[in-house]
Amino acid sequence: MNLRLTKNNIRFATATSLIALLNGGQVFAQENTVEDEPLVMEEVVVSGIRGSLKDALNVKRGSTSVMEAISSEDIGQLPDVTIAEALVRLPGLNGTRDRGNNSQATIRGLGPRLVLGLVNGREVATSEPDRGIRWEQYPSELISGVQVHKSQSADLVSGGIAGTVNLNTVEPLSYNGPQFILRGGPVYYEAGDDIPDYSPFGLRGSASFVKQLSDKLGVAVGLTYQKQKNGFPSLQGWAYNEDDAGDIDGDGEIDFAPWGAQTEVKKLDQTRYGAMGVVQYQASDSFTLKYDVFYTEFDITENQNQAWYQNWGNWTDEFGSYTDYADYEIVDGSVVAGTVNDTYVRNVIAQYNQTNSVFLTGLNGEWVGENWTVEGDVSYSLAKRENIWNSVYLDNDGAIQTTWDFRAGAEPYITSPVNPADVSNQFVAGSWNDGPQHLRDELVAGKLDFSRNFASSTLSSLDFGARFASRDKEFDAYNWWQDGTVGSIPESLLSNYTMSGIVAPPLLNGDFDEVADAALGGIDESLAAEDVLAGWRVKEKVLEAYVKANFERDLGDIPVTGNIGVRVVRTEVDSFGKETVDDGEALDVNVKNDYSKVLPSLNLNFHLTEDKIIRAGVARAIARPPLDELRAGRLLNTTTEVPTGSGGNPTLEPFEATQFDLAFEWYFHDEALAAVSLYYKDVETHVGYLTEDVDIDGTNYQIYRPANGDGGTIKGVELTFQTPFYFLSEAFQNFGIYSNYAYVDSSIKEFAPENNPLDASGLAKHTATVDLWYSSGGFEARLGYKYHSPFTMIFGWNPQDLITLESEHVLDFSTSYQINENVTVRLQVNNLTNEALRLYRDGHEDRLARYDEYGRRVLVDMTLKF
């Protein structure tokens, strides 16, 4: 492009927004001068990431509410591995690592249950039991952009109190990048390097083709493949004995101890496939039709070596204590380190298999007239998950002594003078098999939107429309116990080894199929029995309608734009499950519920100057309850003095909040931003687990189940600063910074533990990102730092498993070089300092829940563009 500039405004430097901080962009020519006379600059070609960065700032700048954007000029140029890795670098966003990959996202101190995920503006089915999207399911190579809406608007799909994340695929008729992109290379996972019978090398590749067959017809096709070999070691502390603990130190006070712990190595083999297709047809100057399809599949195989250290719980009965502690360290009534003389060790050789898939498709048509715009959209999505855990239990003969220390501030460890993985001392105890479990989520949706433009000086347009969605999610589970067929198995099938990532005795190793054949005669899935109380099905219908008036006028000398509107939402729930009373016959139970909510919103944008904007917003918002917590099944017991029970709660009301936003954005350079954003949310109701009085057929039960409880307030501030160092000397012209900091304070609490409730899931008081980058002559380098303070999270699929993620400091490095306009090579090193993941229980940092060492991840790849 040719740029005609004056001396005072030429500040053309390198990329300064989020995407460049995560991937390499290219700059072929750059000029910098300080003359006053107009001049014509030589042609400057900006491709790949640099153009994407500027696009991202332009999207944010042109928005009508508070939001963040990630944009990709070329398909396939978004960050590696997961979309979550890009999301967590945005202001006020955090992520949780699963198997070393960022997976789910939190926004503004609220957890994934309050984040709504969309694809191409559509709500989608998910393979999680609630509503959450695991962002690693979506290959970043097939995504062209992301918007994170932090404030509400009447035309936005309801459901995201924390925020709404929308992933976009490419639109062929608007695409200006290369037609064909081929990308691939090996990935090295350091943590798997010393795992026996395992390779730490994976592979990542993608191909995309986008072509405008004519001015009226465009097509896009993308394929991805990823093989992850991200095996790692882990040390896991079990829950504490809170029911029948004894007094270890004799001071008359109960001392709580963990029931035990386990060490584990996961020999992970994760394969992800992805495919995307888009056909866009402009039938006339006024009508455009687009059909898109997206499929992704995620297969996980984990060969697991585990050692269970049991009998630490200091449990007692009328005869005394049943744990022999030779030494101990007690902090605030909790045993956090000690030596146990009578530890029983169970070695477990297991295999876990899981397959997730998501299929999305939709048809969108838009007609644009002189004053009217009409858009219709219909979509279908289907998500599936199947998983099973098979195991062989091998017990040591007799108890051994173990010493353990799980205190915060140091690496946890377990030691023993005896090798519990001695191949000559293993006796078959049997096999527990959890699964198969099946989850299926189907969602059909449609919407019709109208917009009428006006020549009025104040009312610029009126938007209105309606949306419907019908969702059907169901889950079933099986399990069985299988006795061993022999007392012991040949020693030749077993070996043992130690891992450098954790301090613990050796683990027992063996080929799972061979060990299962020798110990059990093979895994017999015909023994699987359905756990009918675990199964559930929830049908949900949502009907929404909205009207929104867009306006623009001057307030003195200040142009003001904005919108005011209201969205009305009606939700109907139909829940199915099984009910038992006193372990009797399981009977069908069906519960219905419905609710309607009115959600007004107002957004104002004060354009102080061409580069300074103040945004303000106020709105009502909801997030519908997690689908698995709407299950109807329950277990009832009338044999106690007061009848009790447990189960789900189909009558849950949604999370509700009134929220306020105020932001100032200063675009002080074409590729620079300084911004501050304030927000306040009054969350009126929260969902967690409580014991409630429930009348069932005339009997009053105390049932432990999900319930609506008190909410609270949440308030925070976000600061963003990004710029190339154009204002420094010539030596720094090719350097720049991207940075943000967020502070959150909240009175919202989870409902557990009862005596000391944890902060709301997702609440990290402090979050910071600082990325320094260099770009010149086709060469780029980036050093990125991400920090968050501790926050509560739900680990796994059980919403009752609330634990705290310790603060993390993660450092990444990437560099790339563009050999020519068609070929780029790149090196990325993630988790440069090998930051471990540490989780703790009950708000007590010395009560270890999990310690994982994922190691460094190194990617080397090449990109070809034509």
**CA-to-CA dists, residue 747 to 111, 626, 714, angstroms:** 15, 22, 7
pLDDT at 321 (0 to 100): 59
User: Going by C-beta distance under 8 Å and a sequence separation of 6 or more, which residues neighbour residue 32?
Assistant: 10, 11, 12, 13, 726, 730, 733
CA dist., res. 629 & res. 750, Å (int) = 15
Categorize the per-residue pLDDT at 4 as very low, low, confident or very high, splitting at 50, 70 and 90.
Answer: very low
pLDDT for res 80: 54
pLDDT value at position 36? 40
Alpha helices in 546-642 (DSSP H): none
> Per the confidence metrics, is the pTM higher than 0.95?
no
State the Cα–Cα distance between residues 95 and 169, nearest whole angstrom: 22
Has residue 712 got a pLDDT over 60?
Answer: yes
Distance CA 702, CA 695 (A): 9
**The pLDDT of residue 48:** 42
Q: What is the pLDDT, as a whole number, of residue 726?
A: 87
Confidence check: pLDDT of 177 > 90? no
> What average pLDDT score do residues 704-708 get?
94
Confidence of residue 7 (pLDDT cuts 50, 70, 90): very low
DSSP state of 138: S
Residue 436 confidence (pLDDT) above 60: yes
* pLDDT at residue number 31: 35
> Counting Cβ atoms within 10 Å, is residue 341 exposed (0-12), middle (13-18) or buried (19+)?
middle
Does the pLDDT at position 210 exceed 90? yes
Tokens describing residue 28 = 């072929």
Q: Which tens digits make up the pLDDT trace of 557-593?
A: 999 999 999 999 999 999 999 999 998 999 999 999 9
Q: What is the mean pLDDT of the chain?
A: 89
Q: What pLDDT band is residue 452 in, cutting at 50, 70 and 90?
A: very high
Residue 619, pLDDT above cutoff 80 = yes
Give residue 486's pLDDT band: very low, low, confident or very high (50, 70, 90).
Answer: confident
* Res 805 pLDDT > 50: yes
Count Cβ atoms within 10 A of the Cβ of residue 474 and give its class: 0-12 exposed, 13-18 middle, 19 or more buried: middle
Q: What is the 3-state secondary structure (H, E, C) of 746-810?
A: ECCECCCCCCCCCECECCCCEEEEEEEEEEECCEEEEEEEEEECCEEEECCCCCCCEEEECCEEE
Residues 6+ apart with CB under 8 A from 52: 15, 17, 19, 20, 25, 71, 72, 73, 74, 77
Residue 365 or residue 24, greater confidence: 365
**Mean pLDDT calculated for residue range 612-619:** 97
Q: How confident is the model at residue 49, as a pLDDT?
A: 56
The H-assigned helical ranges of 92-238 are: none
Strands (E), 582-696: 587-607, 612-623, 634-637, 644-647, 655-669, 672-696
Question: What's the CA gap between 651 and 645, in Å, rounded?
Answer: 16
Quick one: tokens of 849?
A: 């829940």
pLDDT above 80 (res 355)? yes
- The predicted pLDDT at position 77 comes to 58
Q: How many CB atoms lie within 10 A of CB 531?
A: 15
Per-residue pLDDT averaged across 309-313, rounded? 92
Structure token digits, residue 675: 């911004």
Contact 350/398 with Cβ under 8 angstroms? no
* Per-residue pLDDT at 82 exceeds 70: no
pLDDT of 168 > 80? The answer is yes
Cβ of 761: how many Cβ atoms within 10 Å? 22
